[in-house]
Each structure stands twice: as structure tokens, then as C-alpha cells.
Structure 1
Amino acid sequence: MKTQYDGDRAGISRRTLLTRTGAAAAALVAAPVLGGVQPARAAGSWRVPGEETPHKRTWMAWPSSSTIWGSSLSLIQADIAKLARTIATYEPVIMCADGPTAAARAGTICGPTVTVISSIPVSDCWMRDTGPLFRVDGTGGLDSFGLNFNAWGENATSFYGIPASAYDKDRTVAQQVAAYAGASFVRADVVGEGGGVEYDGDGTLMATESCWVNSNRNPGRTRDQIEAELLSRFGASKMIWLPGVTGKDVTDGHIDGTARYIKPGVVMVQLAGAVRPDVWTANAQAIHDVLVNSTDARGRQLQVLTIEGPDTLPRIPAGKQKQFLSSYMNWAVTDQAVITTQFGDTTKDEAAKAAIEAAYGRPVIQLDLDNLYGNGGGGAHCVTMQEPNS
């Protein structure tokens, strides 16, 4: 068991596709593309590189809170461990666990290929949203910033009744991971999550307005102000604002379940399969329609690839299917492979695998992560954060 008890070193259901009881109807927030074509970034300037570029390692967090997970905790832990072991086949994985007891369990379940540390306290497993965004400057420099995680606009409390204090440790994860990695750290002047923004590493961002221009995260901030801050932090020059869905899931419509960058100039969109509620079907189509008419920061017309979600979820009880995050898009990219999921719809699973492999030119590993995608409502991307080679 590769476990480090280095405490002296510096340093739920997350998403539901069911309508909340008493919640307002979801709103499709259609937004125009902002920003014109601008010069490419200057050589040596700081930027968050695309996820397809080489990694030093992947960061994850071990769930150990019964307050958050209740009776589902062991099932979620099993899926997190399966994913961590798979990623560790391709690149190093550091798993942050909340103290020695949690670290010991994580090490036992994850096995010797995953490095478990107990010096960075964590509340839950959503490292994409709680961890730092690492930047490089092309000359060997590494720094980072955080997006001031506030439990998805405190939606974890308003949706599920989980006390806000249950996420207190996750509010400081970003700076502690950065310190462990030896990267300087600053806090951004906006509130949000890493799963709420996609970046190509070449000057262009895309995000849903519903996540960012939202009073539960950035009250009093205009879209232009939020855009300017994100562009500055990511080292980008153009934002593509996409339609979003408000009030239907705890994230208010994170982009990483629907549209992802493959590489600069190329994006992939998942059009909804038969099991997705109508609001998400309409939103996916609206996102697609914006992107096919978009150019990036370098003036390239985006190439928009598409896949379709599953039409059946044979392993999931009918009453739970509308809660299920049936997204192939929420993959984790490693240096040598892409790790995603399969849902038991053989035709759609195989088609998605073939399309993602063709897009990346890398093998695609499909795992059964039903508990994470079902009880957790998040996926492989949601629970990982890459640290790039500097």
C-alpha cells in the first residue's frame, strides 16, 4: 500500500437530473458568443494547458463522509478506487484522504499503484471542482489558482439538506494541493468550479452562463466582469458562452457533461439519448448549435464532433434513470488513454468508444461506474484534476 502519513507537510448525491421538489422550472439560458478574434498569447505567458497535453500526475480525493454519502459511501469508494487504479496504469495518481484512518482504507482499496496521502484534509471526492487549476509558462514554471469552491453555490444544502459545514475542508483543498505540488497559488476574484469551464490551452474558453452568472456564486457580477477574470486567470483571450440549465442539478449545468475540448479547434458534444429528460436534450442541442457557428481565439471555425448518449440503462432501476448522469463526455484524459464509462447499452457504448478513440488517437477504457454516475451524479472528470508537466 503506497500510503504517506505526512501530516506535517504544507499544504451525496452531487448532481441530480430530477426536478427538485418545489423548485422553479429549469431555464435554458441561451447566450451569444462574446469576444472577437484576438492575437495569440505571448510566448512565455501563463496559461492553463489543454488536458490532452502531457501530465505529471492526476490528483484525486477520497470520500469518507457519512454525512454526505450515508449508506452509499462504500459503493462510491469502490468506484473511486476502480477509477484511480485505472488511471494509475497510465500516470501517477495522488489520492488525498481525510486523516490516517481514511488514508488506510483508501490505500487498502486502491492498492499499491495509487499514492495515498493524509496531509490534505478533504470533505468529498470532487477534485475537479475543489482542486487548483495549474498553469505553465512554457519555460518550466508552474503556478496555480483556485475558484473559491462554495459547494456549488451552496446547492448541496438547498438541494439535499447537507449542512454547509460538511464541505468546509473542500473550501481549502486548492491551496493545499498547490503547496504540496510546489506551485504558487492565488485565489481568483470569481466563485465557481473547474467542471464549469472548458479550455483548449490555446486561448479559448467555453462555459455555461447558468453556472457563472448566478447569484449563488457571483452576486452583483456582470457576465463581462466574470469573463474578464476567467480569461485572465486561464491565460486566454476569448470566451464562448453556451446555453445552460439553472436549478435542475446541483452544478447549475456544468459544461463537462455535455461538451469537451479534444484539442485546440476541435470539440465534442454529446446529444442526449432517450433516457435524458427533455430539458437536457434541448440544452445539448442548443450547445451544439452555438458551437457549430463559433470561432476560437485564433480565428478557427470550430470542428464539432458529436456522439449520442445511451438509449437504455439496463443496470439501473427505471425509477432512478432520470437521476443518472448518462454522459460519456465526463471522461478523464491521461497521457496514454482516455477513461470514460459504459452504461450497458452495447450499441451506444461501442459507438461512443469508437468516436472518442478516433478523436484523441488514444485507447478509450470504459468502466462500469454506475454508483458514481448514479448515486454521485458525477463522473471521471469530476473527480480528477491533472497536474501538467511544466
Structure 2
Amino acid sequence: MACGEIIDLAAAVSHFEPVRLYTRPEDIPLAKSMLSNTTRGSYEVDIIPFATNHLWVRDTGPVYVQGTTASSEKQRVAIHFGFNEWGRKEPAEGWPQMTADQIEENHTFGKRVTDSDNDSSSLISITSKLCLEGGALVSDGDGTLIVSESSIIGDERNPGLSKEEIEAELRRLLGVEKIIWFPGFRDLDVTDVHADAEVQFVRPGVIVISRPYASAQKEWHEVYQQVMDVLRGELDAKGRPFEVHTIDEPDAKLILNSASGHEEDPATNYVNFYYVNGGVILPKFGDQEMDRRAMETMQQLHPDRVVKQVYVNALPLTGGVIHCATQPVIEVE
């Protein structure tokens, strides 16, 4: 079922921009067959045979930014943050144990992606001393970065590095001027509370925050309050106060009821959407009222973009949604 949702996501994105779909070689025939039965856009979906064991390319893949050469020419830069299974997490109960070779494949995935890039001549590849995942980083592209302490600071990912040292490296690599931290919770989920599940920038100065459903675990309500408290009265890198909007999460029981025997909390964050060229790909979870409200809010916030919803039911049960499963490859302007 998750495979079908990934195919649907790839097809939806292809209405706006080209797609690279990294697929294990043995799964290529299935991927091609499933893709042939979907309604694709005018852009190509390139199915690439690749050794991979996670669909969360936001975390395992390179983080692309725009850099400047010594001669002031703009250049695409791929940053590798040393993925280590979200702080060396063990697979959840009921999930298969990975071999040492599979773990190494995950660790090297981002580097192998850039090494195989057909346009690698215009790419600079940088390996950071930091260990973190792309989902931990929420940036406005204008100097402001939002992150959680629980998903970056600590011996599980960055032993011996202080908060100040981590900030210095993030500033160096991402070109950010202001870093806003919220506490988060260690071990609340596999990511230790990635920022991209809680908050996203609509544009510089405008933010949308995920508000948990009433019956959600109390710690998620505390995370929501952490983010609200941190941003209240805060200014961004350019001195702008934040305009804050909220999107209510759906009733997770609607997803759990369709997954017999599954008891863990699914990821049901509408803010885990993906920006495409000229559009937004927004999750649709099956809670008709909440899906409708999320769609209306996003349309109001993005009058100049097409908002397209993609139904997801299996992906949330594996720990992520649309933003987690995508990674943009920026075009140098």
C-alpha cells in the first residue's frame, strides 16, 4: 500500500516538475507497472535503480543549497550530514532488522546520489561534521532556520559538540543568520521530533504550525505549545515578526482503524507538505472535515500556487508523510 502512495506522490509531483524515483533494482518492474497505471503530468518520472532501504529521502539524501564560487558565480551545493538511523535507533517492534550492509547503504545513500548525478559537473559536494537529517531543518530561504534541540543536540548524533558549535556549522553551510530552537522531546518518535512535522514557512515571515488532534498523546500537545511559545514575540533574521497560522491535525483513529493490529501513533501532519514549482502537494488523510479545512487554509495562504492533495494512509503508519518522502534538487538561478 505504501508503494502505491509513493507512486501517486511521484505522479502528482510530475504535474509540476521532473521526478527522480530511486528504486531497488528488484523492484523496478513493479514500479514501472504501477506508474503506468497512474495519471502523470507532463514532466518525466525517472525510475532509477539504486540500493536503498528507506523511503525517507528527506533524511537520507543530500540537502541542496545555492552557493557562490570564488568568482561570485552561483552554484548548486549538496550537503551530506552523515545519516545514522536517526541517532542509531533500533527498528520498531515488528519491523525487520537491517544488516550491517543495509545500514551502510543508508549511511552512504546521499553521497552515492550525488556521485551518480548526471549533472555533477555543476555540483559541489560537501560533507559536514554534523550528523542530522534534512527533516530537522526548516528554513525560510531568507536567513531564518527553525530546529528542535532534541533532534540535533546530543551524543546520539553529535557527541562532544556544543549548541554553539552546531550553530556555527549550520550558519556556515546553510547561510542562515538566525537559528530558532524549540526543545522537542527525545524518543517521542523515531526522529526525536523533526521540525518539519511541526512547522513550515509559507514565505519569509509567515508560518504554519501543526496543532495536534484533541486525543493525541499529551507530549505532542506540549511540542505544539513549545513552538508557539518560542515564536510568540520572536523576530526572524530580517527583523520581521511572525504571522502564525495553524492547521489542525486529523483524527488519527481514522487511519489506525484501517490498519488492523497497528497501535503506534501515525504521522498526521498537514504541514508535512512539499513545495513544487508553482504548487503545493498536501497530504490527505481521510478525515473529510479536517482534509477540507487544511485544503482551504493552504489555498488561502497560497493564492498564487496550485494546491494538490494526495491521499496517504500507509505512509503515516511508517512514520512520515509527503515532506519526509521528498527532497528538492534546486536549480541554480
TM range, smaller chain: 0.7 to 0.9
Q: Would the alpha carbon gap of residues 140 and 230 (structure 1) be closer, same or farther in structure 2, given more than 3 Å must change?
A: closer
Which residue identity does 1:253 align to in structure 2? V
> Does structure 2 conserve the Cα–Cα contact (< 8 Å) formed by 1:312 and 1:344?
no
> Does structure 2 conserve the Cα–Cα contact (< 8 Å) formed by 1:265 and 1:301?
yes
Q: Would the alpha carbon gap of residues 256 and 321 (structure 1) be closer, same or farther in structure 2, given more than 3 Å must change?
A: farther
Q: Would the alpha carbon gap of residues 215 and 388 (structure 1) be closer, same or farther in structure 2, given more than 3 Å must change?
A: same
Alignment partner, residue 255 of structure 1: 195
1:91 to 4, 13, 17: 17
CA distance in 2, matches of 1:325, 1:192: 20
CA distance in 2, matches of 1:285, 1:321: 25
1:114 aligns with 2:54: no
1:251 positional shift = 0.5
- TM-score by structure 1 length? 0.76
Alignment partner, residue 223 of structure 1: 163
> Does structure 2 conserve the Cα–Cα contact (< 8 Å) formed by 1:200 and 1:264?
yes
1:322 positional shift = 5.1
Which residue identity does 1:81 align to in structure 2? I
1:293 positional shift = 2.2
> Does structure 2 conserve the Cα–Cα contact (< 8 Å) formed by 1:275 and 1:321?
no
Question: Which structure 1 residue ranges, 4+ long, deviate > 6 Å from structure 2?
Answer: none
> Does structure 1 conserve the Cα–Cα contact (< 8 Å) formed by 2:252 and 2:268?
no
Q: SS of the residue aligned with 2:256?
A: coil
Q: SS of the residue aligned with 1:141?
A: strand
> Does structure 2 conserve the Cα–Cα contact (< 8 Å) formed by 1:275 and 1:310?
no
Q: Would the alpha carbon gap of residues 363 and 321 (structure 1) be closer, same or farther in structure 2, given more than 3 Å must change?
A: farther
1:133 to 56, 63, 83: 63
Which residues of 2 match residues 38-53 of structure 1 at below 5 A?
none
Alignment partner, residue 371 of structure 1: 314
> Does structure 2 conserve the Cα–Cα contact (< 8 Å) formed by 1:157 and 1:164?
no
Which residue identity does 1:368 align to in structure 2? Y
> Does structure 1 conserve the Cα–Cα contact (< 8 Å) formed by 2:202 and 2:208?
yes
Deviations 1:156-188 (CA, angstroms, capped at 9, x unpaired): 447767336233212112122223041121111
Which residue identity does 2:272 align to in structure 1? N
1:102 aligns with 2:34: no
Alignment partner, residue 295 of structure 2: 353
> Does structure 1 conserve the Cα–Cα contact (< 8 Å) formed by 2:24 and 2:52?
yes
1:382 positional shift = 0.5
> Does structure 2 conserve the Cα–Cα contact (< 8 Å) formed by 1:93 and 1:114?
yes
- Which deviates further from its counterpart, 219-228 or 319-328? 319-328
> Does structure 1 conserve the Cα–Cα contact (< 8 Å) formed by 2:57 and 2:325?
yes
Q: Would the alpha carbon gap of residues 313 and 97 (structure 1) be closer, same or farther in structure 2, given more than 3 Å must change?
A: same
Higher RCO (CA 8 Å, separation ≥ 6 residues): 1
Deviations 1:327-376 (CA, angstroms, capped at 9, x unpaired): 111111111221122222222211111111222222222222100111x1
1:263 positional shift = 1.3
CA distance in 1, matches of 2:77, 2:219: 39
Alignment partner, residue 134 of structure 2: 194
Alignment partner, residue 97 of structure 2: 162
CA distance in 1, matches of 2:254, 2:104: 37
- TM-score by structure 2 length? 0.88
Q: Would the alpha carbon gap of residues 324 and 312 (structure 1) be closer, same or farther in structure 2, given more than 3 Å must change?
A: closer
- Which deviates further from its counterpart, 355-364 or 226-235? 355-364
1:312 positional shift = 5.8
Alignment partner, residue 84 of structure 2: 150
- Which deviates further from its counterpart, 84-93 or 335-344? 335-344
1:389 positional shift = 1.4
Unmatched tracts of structure 2, length 5 or more: none
Which residue identity does 2:28 align to in structure 1? A
CA distance in 2, matches of 1:164, 1:246: 25
CA distance in 2, matches of 1:219, 1:158: 24
Unmatched tracts of structure 1, length 5 or more: 1-74
Count of matched residue positions in the alignment of Structure 1 and Structure 2:
313
1:290 aligns with 2:230: yes
Taking only aligned residues, the RMSD between alpha carbons, in angstroms, comes to: 2.0
Which residues of 2 match residues 55-94 of structure 1 at below 5 A?
75-94=1-20
Deviations 1:214-247 (CA, angstroms, capped at 9, x unpaired): 2110111111111111121111111000120111
Q: Would the alpha carbon gap of residues 209 and 312 (structure 1) be closer, same or farther in structure 2, given more than 3 Å must change?
A: closer
Which residue identity does 1:117 align to in structure 2? I
1:108 positional shift = 2.0
> Does structure 1 conserve the Cα–Cα contact (< 8 Å) formed by 2:18 and 2:45?
yes
Q: SS of the residue aligned with 1:301?
A: coil
Which residues of 2 match residues 202-213 of structure 1 at below 5 A?
202-213=142-153
CA distance in 1, matches of 2:92, 2:252: 30
